[in-house]
Chains A and B, each alone.
Chain A
């Protein structure tokens, strides 16, 4: 497949993201025209202007935080996916391979089952318990996988992949066990959570996610040349002056943080971390200096689009966002694989 220019793709994505986000402001159970959304956006910046109260509430208390959360979660999932694929030298790797998603889902299920009442009441306490459980579970699983793969001579990427699969299987079993003991309500909550959902977005969640995204997007570019060198192999990267062990540890911790917080706040949103970096790499090649930022932008766009669709496809109800990302992502991915196969 012929490449497109990295700069061109980056510029296109930078322009596309705000346009799509603005368009997404108009989509939902209550339709609001682009002009109204735009007017409201201007009005919010310029003091002294008045807009209708209900529109303002829908736009700024419901839709805007939700869109921003989608942007941030999408950017974090896709950029960590790009980083993991580079680190594992496997174009089909995924942040879930280091155990973070599996661990997070066990943590969340455990909290739903243990603190069932509190969660059911929809109280902030209950929701943050699930989020905290997911985060702790994700981090603990990553730590375990990392420990299993690290010996005196460094961290073996192959062992880590295998350990990630083992921990993933263990997490699956624990999840089934918890589901088995859960009552109907809990079961519904567990499965809804596992489908990934952005509908509970709030400004508090946006600010936590924003902080994490900022940390990741500032730190990742510093390691992009190291990631390029790592594609050659670990000893080759060492001979190119890369402190491989430190880079690995840093990237794994950042990924566990990013994915752990994403999963905690938005549930399991699949496919973004796998498909987006892969597609972007097919378009512009594997240079991480462009791959990581372009993936972040494309991931943000995909999640905003998926979430907008999730709000309207089954009006007046809503679909969980994770279902939409998989429904959108999978056929696109298959089409790309088919095209690649034709060209080889």
Chain B
């Protein structure tokens, strides 16, 4: 079962934001979406998560139309981490992560245990009782990451689970970028389908099983990073002359500019 976009087009206020986009997120796989600014990456995420209705085409989650799922069941299967957070109320980190348990009825004790584990996983256990409003940008984003992890912490009986991340590493230092990608791989190993927008091609190449390159609302290329990332494509899409080398240890493509 999958999270699938079929032939999606999106017109908003006279602009073609997406044109005939098809892609799918498989459970147990990591899909990375890359592309220049304004290419339609975030629009695609918003259509994939049901926030925007596509002008044409269908989005299906585990074989059913995304919007036909009851909201609570959908929330048990699909967790979404936005790029920015509006939260400006002094919740503690524990309380923010606890919000991720709203769609589930697992009881207060189990929820508290999951919240503590999720915070530990993102290296934020020291923030437990601190106020969200007093945290740094990177700390806030880690707490939000823990929140969406808590939302899909336990497997769901209804269907496969998916995690959608919009530039999850943007606010992070090197160590926490690495940590995020490790967490993403662990989730995939557990059977969760992950789709994320990334700007760093090397991070994307290292972490993703499937790379989708976006340009001007169209999919310019998609497939395994080794096949997709070519010097010609990077020139064509980003207008940057680059060399592709191989990482000496992982043998993944390495974009050198």
Contacts and interface: CB of A to CB of B under 8 A. Distances in A.
Where chain A touches its partner, the secondary structure class is loop
B62 to A, nearest CB: 16
Interface stretch (B24-32, B67-75, B200-208): B67-75
Interface of B: 49-51, 71-76, 78-80, 82, 85-92, 95-96, 99-100, 102-103, 151
Nearest to B95: A287
18 contacts: A89-B86, A225-B102, A228-B99, A232-B99, A233-B86, A235-B80, A236-B82, A236-B85, A238-B71, A239-B75, A239-B79, A240-B151, A241-B73, A241-B74, A241-B76, A242-B71, A242-B102, A286-B89
Contacts of B75: 239-241
Contact of B103 (A91, A232, A235, A240): A240
Nearest to B53: A153
A239 B86 CA distance: 15
Interface in A275-325: 281, 285-287
Contacts of A236: 80, 82, 85-86
Contacts, number: 65
A285 B91 contact: yes
B91 A231 contact: yes
A241 B103 contact: yes
Given A225-B102, A231-B89, A238-B51, A243 B82 contact: no
A281 B80 CA distance: 28
Contacts of A76: none
B218 to A, nearest CB: 25
A312 to B, nearest CB: 38
A270 to B, nearest CB: 23
A33 to B, nearest CB: 44
Interface in A211-263: 225, 228-229, 231-233, 235-236, 238-243
Interface size grouping (class) on chain A: 20 to 34
Contacts of A238: 50-51, 71
A240 B102 contact: yes
Contact of B90 (A89, A232, A286): A286
A84 to B, nearest CB: 14
A281 to B, nearest CB: 8
Given A89-B86, A232-B99, A233-B86, A239 B91 contact: no
Contacts of B96: 232
A285 B80 CA distance: 25
Contacts of B87: 231-233
B90 A239 contact: no
B77 to A, nearest CB: 10
A241 B82 contact: no
A239 B66 CA distance: 12
A139 to B, nearest CB: 29
Given A228-B99, A285-B90, A285-B92, A233 B76 contact: no
